[in-house]
Amino acid sequence: MDDRKLAFFTAIEDQGGVIVKETPKFDLDLYIQNYKGRTRFERLLHIGRSSVPLCVDALTAAVQEAKAGSDILRYQMAVNSLFQAAPNEPEAILDKTWMESKEKENRDTTAHLQAELQSYKNNMIKESIRMGTEDLGKHFQSIGDVEAAMDSFWKMRTEVSSTEQLVDIGKLLVRVAIERRDWKSIGSHLKPLNMVNDSDPKAKALKTYSKIANGIAALGQERYKEAAFCFVEASSGVPPEIYNQIASPNDVAIYGGLLALATMDRHELQANLLDNDSFREFLQREPHIRRAITQFVNGRYAACIEILESYRPDYLLDIYLQKHVPKLYADIRTKSIVQYLKPFSCVRLDTMQKAFNGPGPSIEDELFTMIKDGKLNARIDAINKSITPISTDSRQQMQSKALQTLENYEKQALDRIRRMNIMAADLEVKGSRKPGGMNDISLSMTMDDTASLA
């Protein structure tokens, strides 16, 4: 890595960014072809600022992508990043002429569309107002003013005259919400899409769009199991063009597969993923994910983890997945260790070390943390270097729970009776608040007993 690049990535790392030094397995050009719209730039910039080997290519492509659009801020951002990483690249120089002409063009378009919309409003033609607002919103989004875009799309809702229009607005709002990483609002924007009748020919496509968008939103909010179900319920029969502004079919396979591995047990994985014809189609695009799932279901956990580890750099370059990769991988690893230990009465630690030799701490430390956090019910013999899973004795549990319940009942009953007697003897601690009043309780401390305590 040359000095400029090193300085560039050091600065990113200092800001809390993730740096991926390994070369990913995907081809950048083929990868970006899967997407349409503003997500292309976002993904290119993200890869450029994360991947050491792809940095220059991705940032150069990001500059070109920005220059093909109207978002001057994005262009500046891409050029700036490229300049820091590779100042000698021709794209690393700001094209001020383009920026000035684009700025003027954007300003003129905004004024034109606003004037047009105003004239529609004056004429009070509902459909024209809706279309004019939509054009203005799309224009705002294309120049990077997402707040104004959101505002315009929101205003369209008052002018709708059909369900289809409501659905279109929902999709527009979802795209802006994803760009703003406003995960919580996505569910409500998707409501019109979910209300479409199944008999509608577009229902399948809309449902898939909704599932994928919902999945991304749930992933953003760390609701992993819900997200996994969203992705595995997407239909592979729907053309990718329907949803490629937010994700690609490959993403559906990766997101769905990884999240399912982290949250579902072997039976669920078999039923919801491997036996799911539709999701199998997605998995064919990412055969390694299918292999990882199959290995897990077949109890070959180490092989599953090995496959996933080899693709870790790829997933760390994904715009939505990056933040969650460590947690998801840790969950999958924990689940694998728990499942691995299940059939044994005792396992040697060196055997486990070989099976789960990961980049993290030693297996003993990992098992220590897992047991302490309640994720694994086992005991380590640090002298004989072995681990013994503890089997749950349901009968003993029932017995101790029953006895505990009875004992608690007696204790609580005595306490309640005592309390009743205190009240019956009019010996409660009384505050100054009138019954039903709203006085500040902190003022109602009775101080009559302080002297005696002292």
- Among residues 195, 384, 391, 401, the one that binds other proteins under rule CB under 8 A: 384
CB of 301 to other proteins, least distance (A): 22
452 near other proteins, rule: CB under 8 A: yes
- Among residues 3, 14, 277, 428, the one that binds other proteins under rule CB under 8 A: 428
432 near other proteins, rule: CB under 8 A: yes
Residue type, 438: M
> How far apart (Å, rounded) are the C-alpha atoms in residues 294 and 260?
12
Structure tokens at 317: 């370059």
Q: Taking a C-beta distance cutoff of 8 angstroms, is the pair 46, 315 a contact?
A: no
Total of chain residues touching other proteins, rule CB under 8 A:
60
Q: Which residues pair with 389 in a beta bridge?
A: 378
439 near other proteins, rule: CB under 8 A: yes
**Based on C-alpha coordinates, what's the Rg of the chain?**
30
Segment interacting with other proteins (CB under 8 A) among 13-21, 72-80, 301-309, 443-451: 443-451
Q: Which residues pair with 56 in a beta bridge?
A: none
> How far apart (Å, rounded) are the C-alpha atoms in residues 139 and 145?
9
Q: Of 198 and 426, which has the nearer Cβ to other proteins?
A: 426
> How far apart (Å, rounded) are the C-alpha atoms in residues 140 and 109?
10
Q: Give the CA count within 13 Å in the CB-facing half-sphere of 19.
A: 16
395 near other proteins, rule: CB under 8 A: yes
396 near other proteins, rule: CB under 8 A: yes
CB of 451 to other proteins, least distance (A): 9
430 near other proteins, rule: CB under 8 A: yes
418 near other proteins, rule: CB under 8 A: yes
391 near other proteins, rule: CB under 8 A: no
Segment interacting with other proteins (CB under 8 A) among 69-77, 123-131, 216-224, 446-454: 446-454
> How far apart (Å, rounded) are the C-alpha atoms in residues 377 and 341?
10
422 near other proteins, rule: CB under 8 A: yes
> How far apart (Å, rounded) are the C-alpha atoms in residues 310 and 321?
16
Q: Give the CA count within 13 Å in the CB-facing half-sphere of 262.
A: 24
CB of 351 to other proteins, least distance (A): 17
CB of 374 to other proteins, least distance (A): 9
388 near other proteins, rule: CB under 8 A: yes
How many residues are given for the chain?
454
Question: How far is the CA of 273 from the CAs of 115, 235, 265, 284, 396, in angstroms?
Answer: 52, 12, 11, 12, 37
Q: Which residues bind other proteins (CB under 8 A)?
A: 368, 371-372, 379-384, 388, 393, 395-396, 399-400, 402-403, 405-407, 409-410, 412-437, 439, 441-442, 444-450, 452-453
